[in-house]
Chain A
Amino acid sequence: MNKTNQDRIWELGVANIYNEAGKEEKEELKLLSENADNEKVKESIAGIREKLGNTGSLQNSSSLLSWEKISQHLRKKQIKLHLTLLKYAAIIIFAFGVGILFQKYWSFKPTTSPVYTEVRVPFGQMSEITLYDGTRVWLNSGTTLRYSDSFGTSDRKVELIGEAFFKVMKSEIPFRVKIKNNEIEVLGTSFAAIAYPDEIFSQVTLVEGSVQINDRQGRALTHLKPKQQVNLPDDVKKKITTTEVNTAFYESWINGEIKFDNEKLVDVARRMERWYNVEIFFESEEVSAVRFTGTVLKNKPIDQSMKAICMLLSINAEYQNNLNTKDVITISK
C-alpha cells in the first residue's frame, strides 16, 4: 500500500467524522474507500472516536491530586496520634499556666472579626512582597492583593485583582488565589495570574509544579501542567481554553522586562499603559493590529521604548504631556 495514500485516508476519514471534510474531500474519500483495507481504516476511526468520547472525562481527573489528598489524610492521622500523647502533657502544663496567667492578667481579650491586609500597587509601579508562610509574590502595576490576618495558620487564601507572579512555599495547607470567577489551588509551585478588571478574561500560566483551577464553589475545573496557560473568560458560559506557551513572557516582568512575542500592538499598548501610567491611542485599526516581538525594559523611560518600537515597526508616535491627567500617546502609520 502506498504510504502517502495511507496517511491521506486517515486524514480524510478523521476530517469526515468531525464534519470537517469539504465536498471534494468527501468524494476523494469515497474513491479511496473502495479499497477494502481503507474501509477498515474507516472502521478503526469510528471505533477510536467512540472510545475517545468516553475517555474525555479522564481529562479532568488527576491521579496525582487524588494521591496528594490521601497522603495528606494519612499524615493528619499521624499527627493526631502524637497529639493524643501530647494532650496529657499539655493538660498539666495548661493547669500551671492558667494559674499564673490568672494572677498576672485578670482580663479577657474581646474576639475580633478577621482583619484584611491589602497591598495596592499603583499604575506605573511594581512591588514584591513575602507572605507569612514564605511565599513570594511579585505584583505588577495596577494590582491589589488582599489576605486576612489568619493567613498561614488555618488556610492560605489571597485575593488578586491585577497581575501577579507567585512562588508558593510548599506546605500541606493548600494555597488558594481568588481571581474573578475562579480560584487557583496549589500546594507549592510557581505561576503567573492575570485578572485585570478591564479585561474580559483572567489567565493563569504555570511555570513549574501543578495547579488546579476551581470554580467559585471550589470545585475542580481543570489542572495545568508546566508551560500550560488557561484562559478563563469572565462570561462563565464561554469555554475555558488551555494552550501551551513560552512562560518567559509571563515571568519576565518581575525582572523589569516586558517580553512580547508576536503580539498585537493593541495588547502591547495595554500593558505599557499600566506600566508607565499613560494612555495610548491608535489612529486606525490597521496600525493597532501590527505585531511586535521584542523586549521593553522597565527602567528606560517610555519615550525611549516607544522610539525603539516605532523604528522597528516603522510607525509614528505623538506625545502629549498633560499636567494633571495621564500623558497621552497617539500611534499612527
Chain B
Amino acid sequence: MEDNNLWENIKKGDRNRFKELHDKYFHQMYLYAFKSVDGDSGLAEELVSDCFIKIWENRKKLNIETSVKHYLFIILRNGIIDHLRKQKVFTEPIPMDIMAPGDEKDFDDQRQYVRLYMAVKKLPEQCRRVLELAAFESLSYQEIADSLQISKNTVKTQMGRAYKQLKEMLDPKDFNFFLMVCEGLF
C-alpha cells in the first residue's frame, strides 16, 4: 500500500497498517539511528520504537502533506537530538550537520543496505551462517570451519557461492540481461 494511503488508515486507528509502516521502515530508520549514536544497537532500536510510539500518540494531530517517510525521519531525528542533548548537556554542542536525514542519497544507501541484509537472510542455511560469521563477526575461514565443524575448503566454496548469489539477488536485471546476451550469442 502507498504510504499516504497507509497513513490515512493509521489516523483512523488501524494498528495493522501501523505495523505495516513500522515493518517497512524499521531497518532503514535503525541504520540511521545506529550511525547517529555511535553504534549503540540497543539504543538505536529504542529510539526507533520511541519514534513510532510518538507518532501513534499524535496521529490525530499530524497532517502529513509531504512524504510520510520524511516525516518519520524528522521525528526520529528530533528524538535522537533530544537524547544527545540530555547526555551532553554540559559538554559539547551537538553535531547537527552529520544528521540531516533529508538527503536522497542517504535514503538510497540505506535502502541498499537493507536490501542486502534481506538478501543475506534468504541465502541457503549454511551459506548464510558462513557469510555472517565472516562478514559480521570477522572470523577467519579457519575459525568458521571450527565453529561450524566443516572443512576450511567448504567455507571457501560457500563464501564464493554466497557472494555470487547476493550479486544475482541484488541485480536481477543485470543478470537476466547477461543471460539474454548469452542466449543471443549461442
Q: Is the CB of A220 within 8 A of B41?
A: yes
**A52 within 8 A of partner (CB):** yes
Return A203 CB to nearest CB of chain B, in Å: 13
CA distance A71 to B18 in the complex (A): 10
> Which residues of chain B have C-beta atoms less than 8 A from A63's C-beta?
22-23, 26-27
Q: Is the CB of B160 within 8 A of A7?
A: yes
Q: Is the CB of A48 within 8 A of B163?
A: yes
- Per the 8 Å Cβ criterion, residues 1-49 of A in contact with B are 6-8, 10-15, 18, 20, 44-45, 48-49
Q: Is the CB of A67 within 8 A of B117?
A: no
Q: Is the CB of A11 within 8 A of B156?
A: yes
**A56 within 8 A of partner (CB):** yes
Q: Is the CB of B30 within 8 A of A58?
A: yes
Q: Is the CB of A239 within 8 A of B161?
A: no
| Contact mask for chain A residues 242-258; partner B; CB cutoff 8 A; 1 contact, 0 none | 01100000000000000
Return B83 CB to nearest CB of chain A, in Å: 15
- Per the 8 Å Cβ criterion, residues 41-99 of B in contact with A are 41-46, 48-49, 52-53, 56-57
Q: Is the CB of A52 within 8 A of B135?
A: yes
| Partner pick for A65 among B43, B45, B141, B156, CB 8 A cutoff | B45
Return B18 CB to nearest CB of chain A, in Å: 8
Q: Is the CB of B147 within 8 A of A241?
A: yes
> Which residues of chain A have C-beta atoms less than 8 A from B167's C-beta?
44, 48
**A321 within 8 A of partner (CB):** no
| Partner pick for B31 among A13, A45, A54, CB 8 A cutoff | A54
CA distance A53 to B135 in the complex (A): 7
> Which residues of chain B have C-beta atoms less than 8 A from A8's C-beta?
160
| Partner pick for A70 among B31, B49, B133, B164, CB 8 A cutoff | B49
**A59 within 8 A of partner (CB):** yes
Which range contains the number of B residues in contact with the other chain?
A: 35 or more
Q: Is the CB of A56 within 8 A of B41?
A: no
**B124 within 8 A of partner (CB):** no
| Partner pick for A66 among B49, B132, B159, CB 8 A cutoff | B49
**B122 within 8 A of partner (CB):** no
Nearest CB to that of B35 among chain A residues? Answer: A57
**B120 within 8 A of partner (CB):** yes
Q: Is the CB of A244 within 8 A of B45?
A: no
- Per the 8 Å Cβ criterion, residues 138-160 of B in contact with A are 139-141, 147-148, 156-157, 159-160
Q: Contacts A20-B140, A63-B22 known; A57 to B112 CB distance under 8 Å?
A: no
Nearest CB to that of A219 among chain B residues? Answer: B42
CA distance A223 to B45 in the complex (A): 13
Q: Is the CB of A15 within 8 A of B22?
A: no
Q: Contacts A7-B161, A10-B163, A15-B156 known; A61 to B30 CB distance under 8 Å?
A: yes
17 interchain pairs, CB-CB under 8 A = A44-B167, A48-B163, A48-B166, A48-B167, A52-B120, A56-B135, A57-B31, A57-B39, A60-B42, A61-B30, A61-B34, A65-B45, A70-B22, A73-B53, A219-B42, A220-B42, A241-B133
| 4 closest Cβ pairs, A-B complex | A11-B160, A60-B41, A10-B160, A219-B42
Q: List B residues at the A interface (Cβ < 8 Å).
A: 15, 19, 22-23, 26-27, 30-31, 34, 39-46, 48-49, 52-53, 56-57, 109, 112-114, 116-117, 120, 125, 129, 132-137, 139-141, 147-148, 156-157, 159-164, 166-167, 170
